Chain A
Amino acid sequence: MANEFEQVENSEKVVEEFVAETAKNEEVEVKAKESVMPKAPSKLKLSKGELKRQSVLLVISAIFVLYGILFYYLPLGGWIMAFQNFKLKTGFLHSKWVWFAKFKFLFPTLKFWTREFWDGEFIRVIRNTLGMGVLNLATTFIMAIVFAILLNEVKNKFGKKMVQTISYLPHFLSWIIVTGIVHDSLSSTGIINELLRNLHIINDSYNFFAHPAWFWPIVAFSNVWKETGWNAIIYLAAITAIDPCLYEAAEIDGAGRWGKMKYITLPSIAPTIMILLVMNIGNVLNAGFEVQYLLGNGLVQKVSQTIDIYVLKWGISQMDYSLGTAAGIFKSVVAIVLIVISNTIAKKAGQESLF
């Protein structure tokens, strides 16, 4: 008995020491950063020798810089279109300048307290995009974490691998196939209606796609079904990296499975979660295009159309590139604002951040 107590005490000490050490390390790192920063300018003096010494690195990084300029920055020149009445025939140089007319078309009235403002097509499209984006983010994000943690608890190695493999396979299906499956299963003769009928929950088949209220949940569910397994991989990797000592220590301290999840697993993967969250928030406006495009119909069009569909409709179908570009610019600006806000919050909360 005495020995056991001693052991526990010892291990507690080990944990404390470990924690203290980690903290120290962090402090050291921070200090190191601070000490490097001011000194940096003096070190940055460009000497020929220095350039030569780093030439390989410079060439490699130059490739990436070039890539970025070519594929991310140069295309931004196309934003000019948003301020012109762009026609392929006349090109950038001879198209008529209309300045903000296209943006005015997107927001016919800026009096946001009026009904008219909220009934505008573009406002509705933004609402749908944000709504579905947030819903998708929340559901896929939480499901992936929950799934990863639960899967980590499976002790049978074979079973665990199998579940993991099967669950991420839907990621490789294209949306046209997934929406086909979803459409089929929710049809009047599909599996869902059959189940509901046989369980006597409903008497007659229910038409899920005829009711706007169901559309967002169906889209969110499709996303969860397709992406949960895939998104969980990164968390599973993070979990694998957790020092087993911590679990042992927690176990000795009397933590059960639940306790270990709560006090070891979750806090350990918190930085990963935070980084992914910040990145995904920037992506909220990419709520999807194919799902809504393929699952939508006339009855639910008011809740199904996203910014991307809007751009396709006006930009490509109606050949109004300028309007499409204006809508795209708006989308990018909102995405940048979102990412800055979430990053700041993450920083304030003392968590990992992107910049």
Chain B
Amino acid sequence: MEMKRFLALGMAGMLSAAALVGCDNGGNVVDPVDPVDPAEPGVTEPGEKTTYSEDEIINFTMFSAMPGSEINDGNAAQEEIAKRTGVRVKETWLTGQTAEEAVGSILASGDLPDFIDGGDGMVQLYENDVLVAWDEYIEKYPNLKELYSDAEWEFFRQDDGKIYWANVFCNTYGEPKATGHNDEAFWIQCRVLEWANYPTIETLDDYFKVLEDYYAEHKSFTDPAGNDIPIIPYTALCDDWRYFCIENAPEFLDGYPNDGSVIVDTTTMKIVDYNTTPTAKKYFAKLNEEYNKGIIDKEFATQTYDEYIAKLSTGAILGMCDQNWDFNYTITPIFADTKLSDLGCEYVPLGLTIEPGMKQRWHTYGDTLNNSSGCAVTTSCEDPDAAFKFLSDILDQDIHDLRFWGIEGQDYLVDEDGMYYRTQEMRDQLNDSTYKASHVCNYSYMPQWLGTSKDGKNAMQPGEQASEFYAGLSEPLANTFKAYNAGGYPDMIGSVVEEMGIWYPMYSYSNAMTAETAGGEAWTKMGTVKHEWIPKVVMSGDFESEWTKYMDAYNACKPEDFLAEMQEELERRAAMAE
């Protein structure tokens, strides 16, 4: 249920990285009278721009069921986009609730925004008939149609045969440019690797061995501000839906990809429950052992997400298992700001397995089609056509550049080859949250591209621009990549390069389950039991007996009902592919 949140990548994505995309930013703006015309990159002269005056600009609202930060009114990029497209969208985010709670409250109040990404609550929105179907607009606006192939659009069809939302993430245009690892991994600080002379770390045991050895010699360190920081070798977040940080490692340790809620055994095409595998037991036994040795944070089970991020920001945590999007977009700018990056506090991902020599699939190559949620227009929107036109307009290359690269000359420059780049000053500026709030407007939960810009040179999003990626690396991080002979994060983690099966990812199905089916009820109950028992098991003095109790409680939830429904879905998806 949690995986889908990696969509959060979009929202934060922009913060940290740098890079360029290039088209001649001459800014070909779509003619408002003829919105069907997709922008051809770099053809028009700036003089031809059509602009909208303040009276003509339509104000829309959007709610995304993800935590995020609101941007300031009068945000420079937002105003520029409004001028060129005639639409301004006020985005609001989830605060302190779960996605379902937020969507439930919105539905109960009847007070809907114009655009919505309901996250886990998407199905509720559909079931209550408050979404506008995309179908006619997909045909009308080629920019939208282009987002997915016909076969992919099929996956978004609901049982009434219509499409109500499109996921906006992990969608590559042209050549992939990925330099990052925006998935889960066991992360470790560069300085630990450097101290251990860049050893090969393959298994969970290797990993904890390095942490233990380092901790034995370093109980604390002095940060650049002169504070003495006690070191905590490992922590594991268990807060609410983010407990995947401790919960789903067994699927990866066995070498399977991020299906999220289950393992798909590709030889037999059977669903396997990763909560009860021998690997799961070994993994939790290892955590239990390390906890009792004092290697794992005493407060891991009770810390909130904010406390977790606060701890990471001090550089105190040597390693943890987490999704990149869950911490790195926040932590990287902080480390750059506090100069902790120069101390080697930045994290690199490791592709661990339970036994040495196994293949693993921590990194997802290619796009992930998560059909369980996405951007939608609601029935409260008075002018759905204008809304869809806007979704299409912001995919025009010049607007897309405005969203992700910023304003030319201020947030990025273009060299004579048409390549986008940033100066160090610009990078620092873009790491500053105050500047971002008043100058950056990603519309991060609206349709967007990864991969190569329509100019064929730059990357759609700065984080993927190779030149920017390398220029932005701190010295310890660059040294680490060099030591492991890695060109970037994906090389560092070294997962098997392969296309995912058509069923991938299975979490898009379990995310959308409701308590109305037996499987859904079991899924809810399993979550409750795991929330309670996983920390208990890790913290126990007697692992074996606690594990038995955990398994009893787990089996009482009837996981077989859940697995049976997942199996059905797997077979349905596999059949669809044929």
Question: Which residues of A pack against B, CB within 8 Å?
Answer: 87-89, 176, 183, 187-188, 204-205, 207, 209-210, 297-299, 301-302, 312, 314-321
Question: In the complex, which residues of chain B have a beta carbon less than 8 angstroms from the beta carbon of A314?
Answer: 515
Given the contacts A187-B307, A301-B532, A302-B532, A317 and B302 also touching, CB distance less than 8 Å: no
Beta-carbon contacts of B116-150 to A below 8 Å, as 1s and 0s?
00000000100111000000000000000000000
Given the contacts A89-B129, A318-B514, A299 and B96 also touching, CB distance less than 8 Å: no
Question: In the complex, which residues of chain A have a beta carbon less than 8 angstroms from the beta carbon of B535?
Answer: 210, 298-299
Task: Give the distance to chain A from B509, nearest Cβ to Cβ, in Å.
Answer: 17
Question: Which residues of B pack against A, CB within 8 Å?
Answer: 96, 98, 100-101, 104-105, 107-108, 124, 127-129, 238-239, 243, 298-299, 301-302, 304, 307, 514-515, 524, 528, 531-532, 534-536, 539
Task: Give the distance to chain A from B348, nearest Cβ to Cβ, in Å.
Answer: 28
Q: What are 23 A-to-B residue pairs whose CB atoms are below 8 Å?
A: A87-B127, A88-B107, A176-B96, A183-B307, A187-B299, A207-B299, A207-B301, A210-B301, A297-B238, A297-B301, A297-B302, A298-B534, A298-B535, A299-B302, A301-B531, A312-B101, A314-B515, A315-B104, A316-B101, A316-B105, A317-B101, A317-B104, A319-B514
Q: Are A301 and B528 in contact (CB under 8 A)?
A: yes
Task: Give the distance to chain A from B277, nearest Cβ to Cβ, in Å.
Answer: 21
Q: Are B124 and A319 in contact (CB under 8 A)?
A: yes
A161–B291 alpha-carbon span in the complex (Å): 51
Q: Are A210 and B101 in contact (CB under 8 A)?
A: no
Given the contacts A176-B96, A188-B299, A210-B539, A298 and B108 also touching, CB distance less than 8 Å: no
* Nearest-neighbor residue (CB-CB) of B525 within chain A: A121
Q: Are A316 and B515 in contact (CB under 8 A)?
A: no
Given contacts A298-B535, A299-B302, A319-B514, 20 further A-B contacts (CB under 8 A): A87-B128, A89-B127, A188-B298, A207-B301, A210-B302, A297-B239, A297-B302, A298-B238, A298-B243, A298-B301, A298-B531, A299-B535, A315-B104, A316-B100, A316-B101, A316-B108, A317-B100, A319-B100, A319-B107, A319-B124
* Nearest-neighbor residue (CB-CB) of A209 within chain B: B302
Question: In the complex, which residues of chain B have a beta carbon less than 8 angstroms from the beta carbon of A302?
Answer: 532
Task: Give the distance to chain A from B25, nearest Cβ to Cβ, in Å.
Answer: 44
Task: Give the distance to chain B from A200, nearest Cβ to Cβ, in Å.
Answer: 19
Task: Give the distance to chain B from A143, nearest Cβ to Cβ, in Å.
Answer: 27
* Nearest-neighbor residue (CB-CB) of B246 within chain A: A298
Question: In the complex, which residues of chain A have a beta carbon less than 8 angstroms from the beta carbon of B531?
Answer: 298, 301
Given the contacts A312-B101, A316-B100, A316-B105, A299 and B301 also touching, CB distance less than 8 Å: yes
Question: In the complex, which residues of chain A have a beta carbon less than 8 angstroms from the beta carbon of B532?
Answer: 298-299, 301-302
Question: In the complex, which residues of chain B have a beta carbon less than 8 angstroms from the beta carbon of A301?
Answer: 528, 531-532
* Nearest-neighbor residue (CB-CB) of B120 within chain A: A317
Given the contacts A205-B298, A297-B238, A299-B536, A316 and B243 also touching, CB distance less than 8 Å: no
A205–B302 alpha-carbon span in the complex (Å): 14
Task: Give the distance to chain A from B71, nearest Cβ to Cβ, in Å.
Answer: 23
